[in-house]
Chain A
Amino acid sequence: MSELLKVIDLKKYFPVRGGLLRRVVAQVKAVDGVSFSLERGRTLGLVGESGCGKSTLGRAVLRLHEPTAGQIFLDGEELTRLGREQLTARRRKMQIIFQDPYASLSPRRTVAQTIQEPLDVHGIGTSRERQKQVEELLDVVGLRKQVLSRYPHEFSGGQRQRIGIARALALNPEFIVADEPVSALDVSVQSQVLNLIARLQREHDISFLFISHDLAVIQHVSDDVGVMYLGQLVEFASAGSLYHEPRHPYTRALMSAIPVPDPKKKSKRIILGGDVPSPMDPPSGCPFHTRCPEVMPVCREIIPPRVNMGTASSPHFVNCHLFTEESAEDGAGAPAGNSAGTSGQ
């Protein structure tokens, strides 16, 4: 399998201006040093709570937000070095599906105009060919041809999201960022759209960066999963490994917090205290140490390095002082700092 997307130490800071002269008084570190790679035809799920920087990361990867630092390679080409014009040309390969199907479609354009726009922008085919392609796209996402001349307000949320997906597919992209594509939808419709996305990926060999706050949704669509907290990736592994054996205390808390639709299984819940700290003033050391149930003195001072708890071919990265390379090599997989963890509480 070949690597399609590679992101190295990506940062996106937003300046906060204040005072009389509107000077930059602080930085919101929305994405703070994230690295990962995505293979062709696979889906990387990015999960985290509001404000963790997952949407900013998705946009920064497409340079919809200009990254503050770091490198992005798509197909071996460094996106972060491209000029405006070159970037626009490359955008054919990469598309985005937005969360809110009500805000992401222009209310003044018909379905046909909306889906055809990317084809117009990139000057693809004759106008008849474009029309034909729009009809095919509708068919792919499961809408009837009769809807072409209708406007977004005439559709339900699920149907609008299908229109947004058709628009994203118009240019035959290699890579799609799907930013919370189903979280505005009702469950019965949500599963329809998730199945559609899974099918498109199989049939068109598209790579997805799938962003969601919902661990169950992420499990259904992803091959690999990254867990974000305060602008950083705290755990990254194949979906199988991550769901089977979550390592980072934050990932474990997140999983245990999901309400289980089964009254007989009262889940053993790890209740986290407090709130997520402000990304303007992130804590020293490990970003999670202020809420971590297993916090140790070292966590407050030193940023935990990335440790591979898996194998070289199937890595399971975790950024936490509970784990060290030695404990990974032992193969036991037990938290290295277990005893220290208890004494540190």
Chain B
Amino acid sequence: MNDTNATPLLSVKNLVVEFNTRHGPVRAVDNISFDVYPNETVGIVGESGCGKTVTGLTLLRLIPMPPGRIVQGSINFRGKDITRLSEKEMQAMRGADISMIFQEPMTALNPVFTVGNQMVDVIRRHKNLTRSQARTQAIDMLDKVGIPAPRKRIDEYPHQLSGGMRQRVMIAMALSCDPKLLVADEPTTALDVTTQAQVMEQIVKLQDEFHMSMILVTHDLGVVAESCDRAIVMYCGNIIETAPIEELFEHPRHPYTKGLLESIPRLREQKMKQLPIIPGMVPDLLHLPPGCRFADRCSRMTDRCNQEKPLLEPVEGSGDRSVACYHPFA
């Protein structure tokens, strides 16, 4: 869990990421700051286009540049600023210090190499091991992520595995060099619910075993509720609320967070006539309003919201909660 006295493992400050498009530059991530502490799981949630995936990719400098670029800000990881590292230093860091798993395991794995080949490559890149030593370690990792008959599976190709198995292989690969931080981008979204349950359970177990921190990027608030310590809610490139998980779900402050929580279809005792909704839709990133980006969908909107953009500020008397809203819920 999060110990506020500890030094953060990762510290993002005023990060801005832009993409050049035909219609002009778009700020996918607009001035965000957050910390991740050792052994902590932080969820970054929001809907499509809110900037959560770009945030995750930027932490490993995996956004394509160009058209993307880091305009300003710093990403501090164990004393190094990731935004300033050379590509070579970055390569040494990826996989070894910070690892990532992606939504679609079929596209993230190379279809023409066996699972073993790909894993051995990753391991030998960061560790001084022979092929056979690396292979032994790969089998060991496959076993840890719950792949039955790892000795047989290691010589199979990705297409021979089911979706859940492929995602396990991705996890095994990501953890094979003992990273301190795992960025998991929608790791279970492509999977069926029963498989999702298996895979999430495995991830949480391994996180404990490997003493690593995790950033879980997802649109699924259910997954966040079950596996995170703290959540960051993003909307239109901004962080609009952060809070420890229980407080966020019990007393959401930002009207968007509240609306999002209410509109999830969930199993209920009684069928509802109407699901609560958030009216309207997300504004176009090319034509953002000058004030609060959620204003035109918000029930608490006032003139001030349309004129001045609210900044993310700590909520008084509540330790580690922040919200970017002039009229937050109590």
* B197 located at the interface, meaning its Cβ lies under 8 Å from any Cβ of chain A in the complex: yes
- Cross-interface CB contact of A49 among B194, B223, B259, cutoff 8 Å: B194
- List residues of chain A with CB within 8 A of the CB of B197: 256-257, 259, 269, 271-272
Per the bound structure, the CA–CA distance linking A159 and B224 in Å amounts to 28
Chain A nearest CB: distance from B277 CB in Å? Answer: 5
* A190 located at the interface, meaning its Cβ lies under 8 Å from any Cβ of chain B in the complex: yes
- List residues of chain A with CB within 8 A of the CB of B192: 49-50, 213, 276
- Interface segment among A86-94, A168-176, A181-189, A316-324: the answer is A181-189
Determine whether the beta carbon of B225 is less than 8 Å from that of A261: yes
* B155 located at the interface, meaning its Cβ lies under 8 Å from any Cβ of chain A in the complex: no
- List residues of chain A with CB within 8 A of the CB of B246: 263-264
Chain B contact patch, size range: 35 or more
How many inter-chain residue pairs (CB < 8 Å) link A and B? 127
Given A263-B246, A269-B197, A275-B162, 10 extra CB contacts under 8 A:
A50-B192, A186-B48, A188-B260, A239-B271, A240-B271, A260-B267, A261-B264, A263-B226, A272-B198, A275-B195
A-B contact pairs, 21 of them (CB 8 A): A187-B219, A191-B275, A191-B278, A192-B279, A195-B277, A216-B264, A216-B265, A220-B272, A239-B271, A254-B194, A256-B197, A257-B196, A258-B193, A258-B266, A261-B249, A261-B266, A263-B225, A266-B226, A271-B197, A271-B198, A271-B201
Q: Mark A286-312, 1 if CB is under 8 A from B, else 0.
A: 000000000000000000000000000
- List residues of chain B with CB within 8 A of the CB of A240: 271
* A255 located at the interface, meaning its Cβ lies under 8 Å from any Cβ of chain B in the complex: yes
B residues 272-300 with Cβ under 8 Å of A?
272-279, 281-282
Per the bound structure, the CA–CA distance linking A61 and B88 in Å amounts to 58
Per the bound structure, the CA–CA distance linking A243 and B260 in Å amounts to 24
B residues 241-269 with Cβ under 8 Å of A?
245-246, 249-250, 259-261, 263-268
Chain A nearest CB: distance from B98 CB in Å? Answer: 25
Determine whether the beta carbon of A191 is less than 8 Å from that of B225: no
Determine whether the beta carbon of B271 is less than 8 Å from that of A219: yes
Q: Lowest 6 CB-CB distances: which A-B pairs, in order?
A: A259-B222, A49-B192, A186-B47, A191-B275, A188-B278, A216-B265
- List residues of chain A with CB within 8 A of the CB of B267: 215-216, 219, 243, 255, 258, 260
Chain B nearest CB: distance from A115 CB in Å? Answer: 20
Chain B nearest CB: distance from A63 CB in Å? Answer: 28
Per the bound structure, the CA–CA distance linking A214 and B164 in Å amounts to 18
- Cross-interface CB contact of A191 among B165, B265, B271, cutoff 8 Å: B265
* B221 located at the interface, meaning its Cβ lies under 8 Å from any Cβ of chain A in the complex: yes
Task: Name which of A214, A261, A273 has the most chain B CB atoms within 10 A of its CB.
Answer: A261
Chain B nearest CB: distance from A254 CB in Å? Answer: 6
Chain B residue with the shortest CB-CB distance to A188: B278
* A198 located at the interface, meaning its Cβ lies under 8 Å from any Cβ of chain B in the complex: yes
* A253 located at the interface, meaning its Cβ lies under 8 Å from any Cβ of chain B in the complex: yes
- List residues of chain B with CB within 8 A of the CB of A272: 194, 197-198
* A158 located at the interface, meaning its Cβ lies under 8 Å from any Cβ of chain B in the complex: yes
* A262 located at the interface, meaning its Cβ lies under 8 Å from any Cβ of chain B in the complex: yes
* B220 located at the interface, meaning its Cβ lies under 8 Å from any Cβ of chain A in the complex: yes
Per the bound structure, the CA–CA distance linking A343 and B88 in Å amounts to 59
- Cross-interface CB contact of B281 among A158, A256, A258, cutoff 8 Å: A158
Determine whether the beta carbon of A259 is less than 8 Å from that of B220: yes
Task: Name which of B193, B194, B200, B225 has the most chain A CB atoms within 10 A of its CB.
Answer: B194
Per the bound structure, the CA–CA distance linking A198 and B271 in Å amounts to 12
- List residues of chain A with CB within 8 A of the CB of B271: 219-220, 239-240
* A138 located at the interface, meaning its Cβ lies under 8 Å from any Cβ of chain B in the complex: no
* A217 located at the interface, meaning its Cβ lies under 8 Å from any Cβ of chain B in the complex: yes
Task: Name which of A158, A190, A191, A272 has the most chain B CB atoms within 10 A of its CB.
Answer: A191
- List residues of chain B with CB within 8 A of the CB of A264: 246, 249-250
Determine whether the beta carbon of B274 is less than 8 Å from that of A198: yes
- Cross-interface CB contact of B275 among A50, A220, A243, cutoff 8 Å: A220
Per the bound structure, the CA–CA distance linking A260 and B265 in Å amounts to 10
* A194 located at the interface, meaning its Cβ lies under 8 Å from any Cβ of chain B in the complex: yes
* A156 located at the interface, meaning its Cβ lies under 8 Å from any Cβ of chain B in the complex: yes
Determine whether the beta carbon of A191 is less than 8 Å from that of B249: no
- List residues of chain A with CB within 8 A of the CB of B225: 259-263
Per the bound structure, the CA–CA distance linking A88 and B201 in Å amounts to 50
- List residues of chain A with CB within 8 A of the CB of B198: 271-273
Chain A nearest CB: distance from B230 CB in Å? Answer: 11
Chain A residue with the shortest CB-CB distance to B262: A191
Per the bound structure, the CA–CA distance linking A263 and B225 in Å amounts to 5
Chain A residue with the shortest CB-CB distance to B223: A259
- Cross-interface CB contact of A195 among B165, B226, B274, cutoff 8 Å: B274
Determine whether the beta carbon of B277 is less than 8 Å from that of A188: yes
Per the bound structure, the CA–CA distance linking A307 and B198 in Å amounts to 30
